């Protein structure tokens, strides 16, 4: 046992003392935050391009154009009060200046658009207030936020005109159409708590961490096996330990590294939540993660890591270089990515037959059963069965990987053949 502890200590300290671990631990949360919130933050910093759009009413009804201008001015004032700028300026164009000839008018506006004096123009249809038809002409299809704002303005102008015709006051109708506010709470919430959305967000965050850790630390284990084989360090170590102890020490050592990194990230998140931290208006609050959720995350993390690390270690045992291992590790990576692609199935119907069946597949259980625990409450027998199947699969994988590891020790410089591997796997202990 002391020898196994020394191997675990060697693997653990050898990883946590590296610069890559320190940088990964410090920059990992930053990278995850950038992936989740970076695009929206960048969009806010970049801002929205302002657009000048001309509006033409062939019917020469100045009331329609005036209503559009008043509504745009009101929206601009609201935006300025909120510290923003409305990305739209409406330019009135009188068709009477062109003798009512739309062809001449459009030729003139086309020139102004191509010279970038205007970004585009809108020609209202005949009987616009009744038909609601309008056509936008422009050269650019990107940066059309201003056009979207104009579309909303036209909608409101038409709706208000129709309400006036029906004898309905616009403000009365707005109050009537005001929607309901549905607050999502679990049965365990208090009167001032609402944790269902927070539990869902926290669960998805934990799943992302579980996903990346199974891939990264599984690959670290594979690389450690290949490096020791190529450097012949394993020959020296096997003078005092068995191949099974050596393999177990590597896997457990890398697992402790993963738990250390996760513990540091959780501590940072806890401190951040205690000081009232928030990201993009989303409050970081770890209290929404109940004890049972932490427990299941720990169980699925341990078994998920052990199972996939054993598979990666098996790849490292039968390959003599990282280049050779890339062909085999692709299959294992697919087995981790596949349940992430099936998350939508579990979210839409967590208690359905398909979700239940897939969550009982040991390779899919860490992700799919955990998301079912987050969004639903599966029967305890299903959770227990999934954990039992993972444990059995892990034991079987440990036996097979141990055999492959022992076989690889005897084949320095070349990978064992398929016939040798199959014969070894079929042989008794």
Domains of the chain: 50-171 (3.40.190.10), 195-426 (no CATH)
19-33, 126-140, 277-291, 351-365: least confident range: 277-291
Task: Give φ, ψ of 59 to 5 degrees.
Answer: -80, -5
Which residue in the block uniquely carries the two structure tokens 């303005």? Answer: 153
DSSP result, 142-211: SS-HHHHHHHHHHHHHHHHHHHHHTT--HHHHHHHTPPP-PPP--TT--TT---HHHHHHHHHHHHHHHH
Position with higher pLDDT, 20 vs 270: 20
At residue 106 the predicted structure's pLDDT band, cuts being 50, 70 and 90, is confident
pLDDT, residue 192, reads 46
Give the pLDDT confidence score for residue 235 in this predicted structure: 67
CA dihedral defined by 377, 293, 213, 350, rounded to 10 degrees? 10
- Percentage of the chain beyond pLDDT 90 is 7
Q: How many residues does the chain have?
A: 429
pLDDT at 280 (0 to 100):
47
Residue 342's contacts (CB-CB under 8 Å, 6 or more residues apart) are 358, 364, 368
Beta partners for residue 120, in sequence order: 53, 138
**Element housing 62 (H / E):** helix 62-81
Nearest of 268, 315, 367 to residue 26 by alpha carbon: 268
Q: What is the pLDDT of residues 302-357, one digit of tens each?
A: 898 889 888 888 888 777 777 777 777 888 888 888 998 888 888 888 888 898 99
pLDDT at 290 over 50: yes
The yes-or-no verdict on residue 243 having pLDDT over 80 is no
Tell me the DSSP string of 393-404. Answer: HHHHHHHHHHHH
pLDDT at 425 over 70: no
What three-state secondary structure class fits 71? Answer: helix
Could you give the residue ranges of the DSSP H alpha helices within 275-363? Answer: 291-318, 322-341, 343-348, 353-359
**Could you give the CA distance from residue 278 to residue 406 in angstroms, rounded to a whole number?**
51
Amino acid 380: pLDDT = 92
What pLDDT is stored for residue 383 in this prediction? 92
What's residue 62's pLDDT? 61
């Amino acid at each position: 046992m002391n020898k196994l502890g020394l191997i675990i200590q060697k693997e653990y300290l050898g990883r946590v003392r590296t610069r890559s671990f320190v940088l990964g631990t410090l920059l990992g949360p930053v990278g995850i935050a950038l992936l989740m919130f970076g695009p929206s933050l960048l969009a806010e910093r970049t801002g929205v391009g302002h657009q000048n759009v001309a509006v033409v009413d062939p019917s020469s009804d100045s009331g329609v154009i005036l209503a559009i201008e008043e509504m745009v001015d009101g929206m601009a004032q609201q935006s300025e009060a909120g510290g923003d700028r409305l990305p739209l300026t409406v330019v009135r164009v009188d068709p009477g200046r062109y003798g009512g000839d739309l062809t001449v008018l459009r030729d003139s506006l086309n020139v102004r658009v191509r010279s970038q004096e205007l970004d585009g123009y809108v020609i209202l249809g005949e009987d616009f207030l009744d038909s609601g038809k309008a056509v936008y002409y422009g050269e650019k299809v990107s940066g059309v936020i201003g056009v979207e704002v104009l579309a909303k303005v036209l909608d409101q102008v038409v709706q208000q005109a129709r309400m006036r015709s029906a004898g309905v006051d616009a403000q009365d109708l707005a109050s009537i159409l005001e929607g309901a506010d549905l607050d999502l709470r679990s049965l365990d919430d208090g009167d001032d708590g609402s944790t269902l959305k927070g539990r869902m967000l926290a669960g998805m965050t934990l799943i992302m961490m579980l996903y990346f850790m199974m891939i990264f630390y599984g690959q670290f284990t594979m690389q450690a096996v290949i490096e020791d084989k190529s450097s012949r360090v394993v020959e020296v170590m096997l003078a005092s330990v068995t191949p099974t102890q050596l393999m177990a020490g590597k896997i457990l050592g890398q697992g402790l590294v993963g738990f250390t990194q996760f513990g540091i990230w959780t501590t940072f998140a806890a401190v951040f939540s205690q000081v009232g931290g928030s990201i993009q208006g989303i409050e970081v609050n770890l209290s929404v993660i109940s004890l049972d959720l932490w427990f299941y995350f720990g169980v699925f993390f341990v078994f998920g890591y052990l199972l996939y690390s054993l598979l990666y270690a098996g790849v490292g045992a039968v390959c003599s270089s990282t280049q050779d291992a890339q062909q085999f590790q692709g299959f294992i990576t697919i087995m981790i990515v596949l349940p992430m692609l099936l998350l939508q199935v579990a979210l839409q119907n967590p208690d359905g037959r398909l979700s239940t069946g897939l969550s009982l597949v040991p390779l899919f259980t860490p992700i799919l059963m955990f998301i079912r625990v987050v969004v639903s409450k599966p029967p305890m027998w299903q959770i227990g069965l999934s954990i039992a199947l993972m444990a059995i699969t892990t034991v079987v994988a440990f036996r097979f990987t141990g055999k492959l590891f022992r076989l690889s020790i005897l084949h320095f410089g070349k990978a064992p053949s398929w016939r040798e591997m199959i014969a070894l796997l079929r042989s008794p202990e």
